[in-house]
Amino acid sequence: MNENIQMQIVARDKKVVLLFSRNASDTGELLPAQVDHMDLDPETALVAAQVLTEIAYEADGGIKPVGPALKATLVEKHRSVLIPRIATVMNSLRTKRTVTNQQLAVQLMDIMCAEVF
């Protein structure tokens, strides 16, 4: 990419928008830039792909993805609630010999989805 061209990736109206701008030589103000193509080195392309994915997730769901530390905290919070709940369901269903694996799986998924979503 040309050195004086900048790219921003944003979410607007449930769409991912790429904004290209250039620095005005005298004021340093960002002005719209006409771009016919981009050349990215592999490292920059990977970063752009990651940002595009994150912004697409935000545009689609309205929620920004969380980082690894926050994700681990959320997983642990849900795990502490779900393990006792699932253990109770499994213990109660263990006594019922007519419950199929399919029925058990459906009940477990219902419990997990209700907690997470």
Model pLDDT, residue 2: 43
> Residues 69, 58, 79, 105: is their CA dihedral positive or negative?
negative
Question: Could you read off the pLDDT of 39-85 as tens digits, one per residue?
Answer: 888 898 888 888 888 888 778 776 666 677 777 777 788 888 888 88
Q: Using the predicted structure, report yes or no on whether residue 1 has a pLDDT greater than 50.
A: no
Q: What's the gap between Cα 113 and its chain centre?
A: 17
Question: Could you read off the pLDDT of 7-34 as tens digits, one per residue?
Answer: 888 888 888 898 899 887 777 788 888 8
More confident residue, 1 or 8: 8
In whole angstroms, how far apart are CA 109 and each of 23, 45, 49, 98, 112? 52, 37, 32, 19, 5
**Nearest alpha carbon to residue 5 among 33, 43, 24:** 33
> Are 20 and 31 contacting, i.e. CB atoms less than 8 angstroms apart?
no
Q: What's the gap between Cα 75 and its chain centre?
A: 15
Model pLDDT, residue 94: 74
Which alpha helices (H) appear in the chain, and where do they start and end?
42-61, 68-94, 101-116
Question: Could you read off the pLDDT of 74-104 as tens digits, one per residue?
Answer: 778 888 888 888 888 888 877 777 888 888 8
Please tell me the pTM assigned to this model: 0.47
